[in-house]
């Protein structure tokens, strides 16, 4: 199955899963199982599934065929090149392709002059009026291709201007651009490009990042410390005719080298194998030459040979456009697509499926506890009422008095619960203070001050090390506070369970380990800028400010995600307590109402016992339905009612894609299937 087909299947799975999550929430609301924590968990899961993005970054030196490879994999359905891919330098600025339904089809270009300011790229995204916008006609391949040629535009500037923009470094003259007869140098006209089109794969959450060469990569800190490290898959492109050059190796070592357990997110492409096709050589000799290059590349980069894939993007594109299956097979493009589909998409769906399965399991446990509380309360009422059979009116009256006393004593115990909550909230406020925006702002101000010291920044690595040391200490402090809260809640819950017969269970404590690892990754991605070779760049205030702002963007995301985990954990504990308090108060009310009915009507006792037994059966059905619905979500399977009627995922994999719009027939099929599933789900 090709990458396109895998991605279509992944998109169908996500949409169906999000629909079932929404319908599950409505069902739980109808049966009073949807407390604040469960509703929040459902909302986050649905958002996570619907908004899941998969970024594939194409990285390599100039003229390695990155844009041609993008054309061959994603845009061959247009019958022509869409991204500029002529000889020489083409994509001069980082180019992101994605889909936002709130924005019309367009190309947005950020002027290169914005590098003269300290604003981070993420901040410029929030100011759309500062970008040059060109509307796109997605049904006109010619207009689309002409418009996208803008990403290849350049301008001539003086050496001083190039230095201010980050394209001239006197300390590394071999990396500087050529100087023309007028003493001017060529730099990109645009700093960043955003392409928004309703391509089927982009609509399903794919984001493509096409990067320029080494000189441009090094000049844009946010690209290398934020965008590329967060890509789910990175395709590193080399020339089969040149092998691994010095500049190729510099990009790999400085920007792409990763931990061994993440190697399957990196694919190395030996492009342009057609340059090795020689009429004077036999096919076996050509293949032997390709195999030698492949083995040599794997050894130099330190990756398994299976991750190095020889390809001809040009011949693959031609083969697709002309329906030449033989040429397409010879180009090996399908091998690359299969590796992308099985590796990247398979891993992505596995990670997403595991995350939502964990969330659904926790959700089921929280809702199951509420059902068990109701079942236990009914059992207590039944035992209580059975004990009243054959008793006189005075005994029944005494029973009512005793229930009222129990209710009063229970209400008095609320003061202790309030005290526990006060301590809980106090500790949570401390967590939010540690990871809040003000704390991060102070850290970044301190780092900026260190970078603004006059002279070469030979001590900048120490300043970075101290900053990350404090950030790690903050994460560890948060872990200590959550452990303290966990212990306090566990003791309080045990006491409440013993005194009131509750079934409170403290949710699993959030683990801060992944956020410490994220800090390690961010720090490593910045180390490339802290060596002697970049001392001259760091001496420039504008560059140092951009570096810190790019760092702040990454760190803000880490802090906000950690806070969201702590908040959900806290909300789950509080909602669980609220639910059991609410159910206990309802139980008191129902018991008193039952006694009153027995006192007021002959035969009321037998009717009430019969009613409780009926309610017990209803709870059994409710519990079974909860387990059934969540089991299918955890397993990622369709509900029983949908089997045999709608195999949407199978359809998605088999239907062909119209690259100018929706996959043929799929949009209508998905709508019809969703409507049918919604009706069947609501009937259950």
Express each pLDDT in 145-184 by its tens digit: 889 889 888 899 998 888 888 777 776 676 677 888 888 9
- 8 A C-beta contact, residue 635 and residue 666: no
Q: Which residue has the higher pLDDT, 352 or 307?
A: 307
- Residue 631 β-bridge partners: none
Cα angle for residues 431, 436, 439 (degrees, 5° grid): 105
Name the token pair of 326.
Answer: 């033989």
> Is it the case that residue 474 has pLDDT exceeding 90?
yes
The pTM score is: 0.69
User: Of 299, 314, 331, which marks where a domain is finished?
Assistant: 331
Adjacent-strand bridge partners of 55: 207
Average pLDDT over residues 469-497: 89
Asked if the model's pLDDT at residue 549 lies above 70, the reply is yes
**Pair (472, 569) in one structural domain:** yes
Indicate which CATH number applies to the domain containing 251.
Answer: 3.40.50.300
Shared domain check, 216 and 82: yes
Listed range (355-359, 503-507, 524-528, 602-606) with the worst mean pLDDT: 602-606
3-state secondary structure of 235: strand
327 and 393 share a domain? no
Q: Is residue 276 part of a domain?
A: yes
Please state, in angstroms and as integers, the Cα–Cα distance from residue 275 to each residue in 337, 514, 525, 675, following that order.
Answer: 21, 45, 35, 53
Lowest mean pLDDT among 18-27, 52-61, 255-264, 585-594: 255-264
Q: Where are the beta strands (DSSP E) in 158-280?
A: 185-188, 190-196, 206-210, 233-239, 266-271
Q: Which residue has the higher pLDDT, 345 or 120?
A: 120
Note the Cα 615 to chain centre separation in Å.
43
Q: Residue 424 region, left (φ>0) first, then alpha (ψ -120 to 50), else beta?
A: alpha
Question: Greater confidence, 250 or 28?
Answer: 28
251 versus 108: which is more confidently predicted? 108
Q: CB under 8 Å to 72, separation ≥6 — which residues?
A: 313, 314, 316, 317, 320, 331, 333
Inside any domain, residue 252: yes
Q: Look up residue 545 and give its two tokens.
A: 């400010």
Mind giving me the DSSP string for 69-110?
HHHHHHSGGGTS--S---SS----S-EEEE--TTS-SEEEEE
Among residues 525, 519, 430, the alpha carbon closest in space to that of 470 is found at 519
Q: Determine phi and psi for 20, rounding to 5 degrees.
A: -70, -35
| CA dist., res. 316 & res. 580, Å (int) | 62
Cβ-contact 68, 317 below 8 angstroms: yes
Average pLDDT over residues 53-70: 86
| Contact criterion met (CB below 8 Å) for 100 and 79 | no
Domain boundary among 580, 600, 620: 600
* pLDDT over 70 at 404, yes or no: yes
Q: In what order do the strands lie in the sheet with 308-310?
A: 132-135, 106-111, 190-196, 95-98, 206-210, 54-60, 233-239, 266-271, 308-310
* Domain shared by 455 and 560, yes or no: yes
SS3 of the chain: helix, strand, coil, percent, to 5: 65, 10, 25
Please tell me the distance from the alpha carbon of residue 56 to that of residue 262, in angstroms, as a whole number. Answer: 14
Shared domain for 406 and 265, answered yes or no, is no
CB–CB of 629/24 below 8 Å?
yes
Structure tokens at 277: 């096709």
pLDDT at 566 over 80: yes
Q: 12-16, 81-85, 223-227: which range is least confident on average?
A: 223-227
For residue 191, what is the enclosing H or E element? strand 190-196
Residues 446 and 573 in one domain: yes
Could you tell me if 482 and 594 lie in one domain? yes
Evaluate whether residue 7 is within a structural domain.
no
pLDDT of residue 294: 92
What's the pLDDT score for residue 263?
58
- How far apart CA 398 and CA 199 sit, in angstroms, is 74
Read off the pLDDT of each residue in 400-428 and give the average, rounded to a whole number: 77
Based on the domain organization, do 325 and 404 belong to the same domain? no
Of 600, 621, 651, which closes a domain?
A: 600
Q: How far is CA 524 from CA 26, 28, 220, 256, in A?
A: 45, 45, 16, 11
The per-residue DSSP string of 603-619 comes to THHHHHHHHHHHHHHHH
Q: Which domain holds residue 446?
A: 387-600
Co-location of 463 and 527 in the same domain: yes
Question: Residue 593 falls within a domain, yes or no?
Answer: yes
Kindly state whether residue 351 falls inside one of the protein's structural domains. no
Residue 665 predicted with pLDDT over 60: no
Helix (H), strand (E) at residue 344: none
**What count of residues does the chain have?**
684
Mean pLDDT to the nearest integer, 337-366? 77
Is the distance from CB of 251 to CB of 60 less than 8 angstroms? yes
The pLDDT-based confidence of 139 (bands split at 50, 70, 90) is confident
Same domain, 241 and 306: yes
Query: For residue 208, is it within any domain?
Result: yes
- 38, pLDDT greater than 60: yes
Q: What's the N-to-C CA distance of the chain in angstroms?
A: 36
Helix, strand, or coil (residue 135) = strand
Report the number of distinct structural domains present in the chain.
2
- Asked, for residue 419, whether it belongs to a domain, the answer is yes
Where would I find the H helices in 302-436?
Answer: 313-321, 325-331, 333-339, 346-386, 393-412, 414-435
Residue 663 pLDDT exceeds 60? no
The chain-wide mean pLDDT, for the chain, equals 79
Q: What is the pLDDT of residues 272-303, one digit of tens each?
A: 999 888 877 888 988 999 999 999 999 998 88
In a domain, 174, yes or no: no
Give the closest residue to 272 by CA, choosing from 212, 317, 328, 313: 313
Query: Do 319 and 396 fall within a single domain?
Result: no
Work out the pLDDT band at 372, boundaries 50, 70, 90. confident
Report yes or no: 183 and 159 within 8 Å, Cβ to Cβ: yes
Is the pLDDT at 41 greater than 50? The verdict is yes
Pair 511, 417 in one domain? yes
Lowest mean pLDDT among 125-134, 400-409, 485-494: 400-409
Let me know: does 228 contact 57? Beta carbons within 8 Å.
Answer: yes
């Amino acid at each position: 199955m090709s990458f396109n087909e895998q991605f279509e299947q992944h998109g169908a799975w996500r949409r169906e899963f999000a629909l079932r999550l929404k319908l599950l929430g409505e069902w739980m609301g109808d049966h009073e199982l949807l407390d604040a924590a469960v509703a929040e968990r459902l909302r986050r899961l649905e958002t996570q599934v619907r908004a899941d993005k998969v970024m594939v970054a194409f990285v390599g030196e100039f003229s390695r065929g990155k844009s041609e490879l993008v054309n061959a994999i994603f845009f061959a359905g247009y019958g022509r090149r869409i991204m500029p891919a002529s000889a020489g330098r083409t994509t001069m600025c980082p180019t992101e392709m994605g889909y936002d339904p709130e924005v019309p089809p367009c190309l947005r270009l950020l002027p290169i002059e914005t590098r003269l300011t300290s604003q981070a790229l993420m901040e410029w995204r929030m100011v759309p009026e500062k970008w040059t916008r060109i509307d796109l006609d997605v049904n006109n391949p010619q207009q689309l291709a002409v418009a996208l040629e803008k990403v290849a535009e350049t301008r001539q500037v003086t050496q001083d201007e190039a230095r201010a923009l980050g394209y001239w470094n006197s300390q590394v003259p071999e990396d500087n651009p050529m100087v023309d007869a007028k003493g001017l140098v060529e730099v990109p006209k645009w700093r960043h490009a955003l392409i928004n089109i309703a391509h089927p794969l982009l609509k399903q959450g794919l984001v493509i990042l096409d990067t320029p060469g080494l000189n441009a990569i090094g000049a844009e800190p946010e690209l290398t410390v934020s965008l590329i490290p967060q890509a789910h898959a990175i395709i590193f492109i080399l020339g089969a005719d040149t092998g691994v050059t010095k500049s190729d190796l510099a990009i790999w070592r400085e920007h792409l080298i990763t931990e061994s357990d993440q190697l399957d997110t990196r694919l190395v492409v030996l492009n342009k194998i057609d340059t090795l096709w020689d009429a004077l050589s036999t096919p076996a000799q050509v293949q032997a030459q390709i195999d030698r290059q492949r083995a040599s590349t794997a050894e130099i980069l330190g990756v398994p040979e299976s991750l190095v894939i020889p390809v001809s993007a040009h011949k693959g594109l031609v083969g697709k456009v002309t329906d030449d299956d033989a040429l397409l097979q010879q180009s090996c493009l399908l091998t690359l697509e299969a590796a992308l589909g099985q590796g990247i998409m398979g891993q992505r769906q596995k990670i997403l499926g595991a995350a939502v399965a964990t969330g659904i399991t926790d959700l089921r446990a929280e809702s199951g506890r509420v059902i068990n509380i109701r079942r236990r309360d009914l059992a207590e009422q039944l035992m209580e009422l059975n004990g009243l059979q054959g008793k006189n009116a005075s005994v029944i009256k005494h029973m009512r008095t005793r229930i009222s006393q129990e209710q009063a004593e229970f209400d008095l115990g609320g003061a202790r619960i309030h005290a526990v909550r006060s301590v809980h909230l106090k500790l949570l406020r401390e967590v939010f203070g540690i990871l809040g925006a003000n704390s991060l702002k102070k850290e970044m101000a301190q780092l900026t001050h260190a970078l603004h010291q006059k002279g070469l920044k030979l001590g900048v690595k120490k300043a970075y090390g101290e900053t990350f040391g404090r950030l790690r200490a903050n994460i560890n402090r948060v872990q200590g506070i959550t452990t303290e809260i966990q212990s306090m809640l566990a003791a309080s819950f045990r006491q409440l369970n013993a005194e009131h017969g509750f079934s409170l269970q403290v949710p699993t404590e959030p683990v801060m380990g992944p956020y410490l690892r994220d800090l390690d990754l961010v720090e490593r991605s910045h180390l490339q800028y802290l060596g002697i070779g970049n001392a001259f760049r760091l001496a420039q205030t504008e560059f140092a400010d951009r570096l810190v702002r790019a760092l702040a963007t990454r760190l803000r995301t880490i802090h906000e995600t950690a806070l969201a985990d702590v908040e959900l954990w806290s909300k789950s504990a509080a909602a669980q307590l609220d639910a059991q308090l609410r159910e206990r108060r309802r139980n008191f009310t129902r018991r008193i109402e039952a006694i009153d009915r027995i006192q007021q009507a002959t035969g009321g006792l037998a009717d009430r016992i019969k009613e409780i037994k009926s309610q017990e059966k209803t709870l059994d059905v409710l519990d079974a339905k909860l387990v059934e619905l969540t089991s299918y979500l955890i397993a990622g399977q369709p509900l029983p009612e949908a089997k045999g009627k709608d195999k949407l995922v199978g359809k998605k994999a088999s239907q062909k894609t119209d690259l100018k719009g929706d996959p043929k027939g799929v949009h209508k099929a998905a709508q019809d299937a969703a409507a049918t599933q919604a009706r069947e789900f609501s009937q259950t």
